[in-house]
Each structure stands twice: as C-alpha cells, then as structure tokens.
Chains A and B, each alone.
Chain A
Amino acid sequence: MVPMLATTSEFFAMFKVPFQYGSAWTAADGSSRARVAVISSDLNDKLFGGANSVGKTLRLKDSDVRIVGVMKRWRPSPLFYDVRGGRFAEGQTSSFYVKPEGVFMPFFSGLEVNEGNFWQFTCWGKVATPGHLQDAPCVWVGLWVQLDSATKVADYRTFIANYAQQQKLLGRFANTDTRMPSLMQWLVFNHVVPSDVKLQTWLAFAFLAICLFNMIGLLLAKFLRRSSEIGVRRALGASRGAIFAQCLVEAGMVGVVGGIGGWLLTLLGLWLVRRQPVEYADLAHLDIGMFGLTLALAVAASLAAGLLPALRASRVAPALQLKTL
C-alpha cells in the first residue's frame, strides 16, 4: 500500500517540489478531474527502476491513472503539510518525519479514486457514509495559503471568519472559531519536536557539563604536575603570559584531538541511529556545517576548561619550584 495525497496543482509550485521527469498536472486537469498523477522518486525507483515513467499507467484501486510527473528526491522534515493532531500525541510526534506520499493526484480525482476508503477523524456530527469525505461533518481539508503582505493576511482572516459565520447560519458548522497560524506557529502548536528528542538534548548538555568539570580537574593535575618545569621556564625569562598561552594551546590541542575522536564516535553513533526503526532514521547524518559546529564547540569547551588551570599554572612561584629540584 502506498499513501496518496489529493491536492491542487499549485501544491508543487508553492512548496517548490523538484521534478525529475515531466511536471505537475495543469489547472485544467484538476477541474476536469483527470486521472493523472505525480509520483515520488522512491515509488518510481521501486516500480520503474528509476526510468522515465511519464505517460505510463498506474493502477490505483479500480482506476487507471496516467503518470505526468516524477519528483526528484524530496524530503521535507518534518513533513510540514501533513502535520496535525500533535497536541494529542503525548509528545510522540516522530511520525511527522515520515517520507512524503508516494502518489499525488488532483484533489477531486483523488477523492473519486479512493471513494469509500477514507477514515474520518475529528468529526462534530454523525458520519452518514463512512469513508466518504465530501460534505462529512468532519475536518477533512488542510488549506495552505500564500499571502505576501500583512493586509492580505488580515483580509484572508476576515474572509475565513465570514465564511464560518455563513456556514453556521446555513446550519453546517457547529461553531465559528477560526484560526490561521503561520507555518512555524502551526509546527510549534503541534509539538513538532518529539519530547524524546528534547530529553536527549537536555541529556547531551548535562553530559557535556560533567565532561567539562572532569576536564578542568584533569588539566589542573596535568599542568601542576609540571610545576618544576614551569619554574625553570619562568626562571629563564618566560613571562606569566607565555606560560598561560602555552597551557591554553595545550588545552586547545586536547580539544582538537578530542573533537576528531568525537567525530569518529559520532559517525558510529549515527550509524547506530540509522539502524533504528524510527521514521527520522534516514535523516541522521552529519553535514559539514554540523561537523564544524561540533568541532568548534569541542575546542571552545576545551579552551574554557583550560582557562582556570592555565591561570593557576602561570602563577606558580619559580623560586619555590627551583629550590625543590
């Protein structure tokens, strides 16, 4: 079974969907309820081995549908246009990171092809015909609008409010609450970051703090163990600043080496994550930006941890050390 999205032809332009072969259907195809479809690159690989399948026919339930376009690999994460109901998921929202649907069809064609097989959710009245969406007393359409100015946003809000009032007067709607969140507001409203991921972030920083305390203690031991060496350097004319700089360079080097070791461990960790059966597993990879950021964080943390020990080391009294040589 392959999930299908019934939408309008503007979907592809609005969300900048890239195409490998062919293109989206036309507005005329949409209004004439043509049996046409755009398929995902995954489905194209599976069914046609990645070849140009434009013009080929797909059998969807009892209908023959002509393929007009094949998408390039497109992996929005989260799958923002399908996000809903996250408030009621107890933080278990990793399903928002699934891959896009396999088949995209004109809105009314899709409704006709899959007639009787839809599942209604969020209804405020009795569903006369289960599996039938049009005129069901349920929430069954997600509407995306692109509005370029604040005036247009305000106008659209008024339009929606008026529509709701009108539908209530006609006896179709039970209430007239309307909301039009922006994409980011909608994602926040739906708790799009799974609570487990938030917890893992907390954990990561707690772990970093423990490692920092550890590193300060160890660097302190490392530098002060060489007190006599430092005493000799000071006696030969090195300034406190030079000792301080030497210690910081050493701490920074530890950070670089640690960062590279950590990078190897990260690759191992990501490989383990990708083997997990979670929806976002294939998203777990390390790009240059992320690698740079973690390496910078490792060096910065090491330097911060080295400050105090370096300060202590630079204040070693040379005379005392030389005496005990």
Chain B
Amino acid sequence: MQIRPILSALRKHRLSTILIALEIALACAVLCNACFIISQRITAMQIVSGVDEAALASVQLTGYDSAQAADVDARALAALRAVPGVESVSLLNSIPFGSRRGTAGISTDAAGQHFGGVIEFYVGGPGSLQTLGTKVIAGRAPQTDDFHAFTSFMPDEGSVQITQALAEHLWPGADPLGKEFWMLKSHYRVVGVLKNLVRPDPTGWTPEQRQWSVFLPAQPGPYLTGSYLLRANSGDLPRVLRDALAAVAKAVPEVVIDRENSHALTDLRRDVFKNDRAMAGMLVGVITAMLLVTALGIVGLASFWVAQRRRQIGIRRAIGATRGDILRYFQTENFLIVSFGIVLGMLLAFALNLLLMTHYELPRLPLYYLPIGALVLWGLGQLAVLGPALRAAAVPPVVATRSV
C-alpha cells in the first residue's frame, strides 16, 4: 500500500482531516480519563470490609433514656437471641457501612502533640469481634477481662485491636503490638492486629484512611446499647432480620426501631456506594454516546469523500485497481487520520488528567490506559469507515467512461 498518494490527497482536504483528528484526540482524552475514573469507582466499591457481610445484619433501637438502657437492652437481647436462625447477637456501637458513633482523633503521645489522624472506634461488647468475623493476624483477640464497664463516650482505657492499615500509618515498619495511643486523656494499648475492618462511612475518606479502625472491647452500659449486630446463615438472613425486627417491636414496644439503619450489611454496603455506582453508570453512558458521535462523524465525512471521488475511483478501477485496493485505500486513510488524532489525544489525556488531579482528587493516569484507548479508537475508526469504503469499492470502472 502506498502511503504517499493518500497523504497528498489528504493535503487537499486539510480542514476536514484536522477536524476529524481533533475530534479523535478529544475523544481519546475523555475516554482514557473516564475509564480511569470508572475503574477507581469500581475499586472503591470492592473495598474489603474484613467482616462476614453476607451473614450479618444490624438492628438499631432509639428513643429511650440512658436510665432505661439496661432494662431495654436485656429485653431486646433476649428477644433477638430467641429468633430461630440467629447464630449470635452482639452489641457494637458502630456498624460497618451503617451507623457511625466512634469517630475521634488520636495522638501517639500523651501530650497530644503527635496527631495520628481521625479514626473509627468500634466499641463492642463481649463476642462482637467473633460475630463480625474479623481476622486477628497478630497478637491476640480480646479476653474476658479486656471488657471494661464505662460511663462516658467510650472506655477511658483499654487493650485494643487495630487494623494493619492503621498500624502501618501510625508506626511505619514497626511492630504495633504493645504500642500506645491517646484520645484526649483516654489511653489505649495495642494487643492485636486485624487484617481489615472498614469504617462505617468509607466514601467520606481517602482510600488510605478507609481502613483506619480500632476494636475497643467494653461492657454493655448506658452508652453501649441499642445497636446490635446479628449473625445468621447468609441464605436465611432476610427472614431472620424480618423476624428479629418483629420480635424486638413486641419485646420493647416503647422504643423506636430505626428502620433506615436496620438492614443486612450487604444492603447497607450497596447504599453506601450508591453515588459511586450512579457516577460509574453515567460515565459509561457518556463514553458510549461520545464514541457513537465520533463514529457517526467519521461515517459522514468518509461518505462525502467517497461521493466526491466517485469519478477518480472509477478511473483507478478502469486502469487496473482491484476492489481490495480501493477498500484498503480508504481504510489506510482512516488509519492515518486516527493515528494522528491519537498522538494528539495522548498529550490531551495527560493534560486533562493533570487538570483533574488539581481540581478533583484523582491519582495520576496509569500509562497502560493510553495504548488501550488507542486500540479502541483505531477499532472504532475502522468500523466506521468500513461502510463508506465498501461503497467506494463497489464503484464500477464504467463510471470512468461517463461524463468526463
């Protein structure tokens, strides 16, 4: 295939060529960045919670005084435990993907000079870590005498389990076991490391901060009450939760069941990421529409060129060019224009990425998005030009003899 005649023909259509190339360049830039954002959202949605989500549900009670707490708690727990299919019930202040009650800033020294970040305290009653199904990968799980009674926001002292991610953030490279941290005057010592334990509200934090959680054992009391974690067989969970809510409504009719937050953890998770899902869906829609518009543009211009060159095509056919030659001519022409656009598009994609990085918290675009974007656009160009090119190839040689 000779490229030189194609290039000199394109020089005659400089304006149209530049327009199509610019369109391809913009499409390339938007395609790469939009795909990158989609992949970021999907990665965020797949965050490892570190708990047995499929087997867990949350029941939230409210609307009673702290003086009544012990009585309400006793009746609610008894009712929940009596529901057939319930494997265990525990008290836990915050629920992964659900209610958030233990967000606080910590420091790694008693004076509060070395700020350690804002973390989530999961204050849980006996058995709650087992109910969650969180894996302890170093140190130990809480023991019976770790569960202290408390009369304030959370226990002032305790032996805690922290996530791997938080340990690495607070003491990079060091063994976190035995280390201490403070929240105002409260003091905690690390005795165990958890593989993962997601915050209740992961979308409101940077990817690094989403696993900054601590498990703090405590005895049920006036300020650890009304927030329950249920464990049941995953297949049976919807039925168990329905029965559990009915049982609680009967056992403690004077309290309010917070139905917005009493759900299976898989449902709560879906709700947490609804914005990300909507955004990813919208981006897919925009990319599809954009590629469609670009393809239609190519079809339109290529059709025009074919119509314009009908006579020249006839002459070429008459002097010996095959249908394949004509077909390949238009395909090569399209390939050259798209390639030109892609080169420009890669630069634009990086420029757009830089812009998004400053105005919108987005990491740097990985390089491998560029060749993939290029392949997609080459494919799109070839697909779009195929129709007009086939029509060009079908021009009979006899056209050359007419109206010259």
Contact = CB atoms under 8 A, between A and B. Distances in A.
Q: Answer yes or no: are A and B bound together in one complex.
A: yes
B248 to A, nearest CB: 15
Contacts of A277: 271, 274
A130 B352 CA distance: 48
Contact of A92 (B34, B275, B300): B275
B15 A195 contact: no
B325 interface: no
B297 A126 contact: no
Interface string A114-129: 0011011100011111
A13 interface: no
A276 B280 CA distance: 13
Nearest to B26: A210
A94 B275 contact: yes
Interface in A178-212: 195-196, 198-200, 202-203, 206-207, 209-211
Interface residues of B, number: 58
B294 interface: yes
A124 to B, nearest CB: 8
Contact of B185 (A116, A126, A210): A126
B136 to A, nearest CB: 29
A130 B300 contact: no
B286 A207 contact: yes
Contacts of B16: 217, 220-221
Contacts of A216: 19
A214 interface: yes
Given A119-B101, A127-B153, A206-B30, A90 B206 contact: yes
Interface in B226-270: 256, 258, 260
A240 B142 CA distance: 88
B279 interface: yes
A221 B356 contact: no
Contacts of B203: 90, 92
A206 B26 contact: yes
Contact of A202 (B185, B275, B293, B356): B356
* Most chain B CB atoms below 10 A, which of A94, A200, A312: A200
A203 B286 contact: yes
Nearest to A324: B403
A15 interface: no
A207 B258 CA distance: 44
B304 A92 contact: no
Contact of B30 (A116, A120, A198, A210): A210
Interface string A126-148: 11111100000000000000000
Given A91-B360, A126-B185, A213 B23 contact: yes
A312 B15 contact: yes
A251 to B, nearest CB: 15
Given A116-B65, A210-B23, A278 B301 contact: no
Nearest to B184: A126
A218 interface: yes
B307 A225 contact: yes
A198 B152 CA distance: 41
A276 B274 CA distance: 9
A199 B153 contact: no
Q: Which 4 A-B pairs have the closest CB atoms?
A: A221-B304, A214-B297, A213-B23, A217-B19
Given A206-B29, A217-B301, A218-B301, 18 more contacts: A119-B101, A121-B103, A126-B184, A126-B185, A126-B186, A195-B360, A202-B356, A206-B352, A207-B286, A207-B289, A210-B27, A210-B290, A213-B19, A213-B22, A218-B297, A222-B304, A224-B304, A225-B307
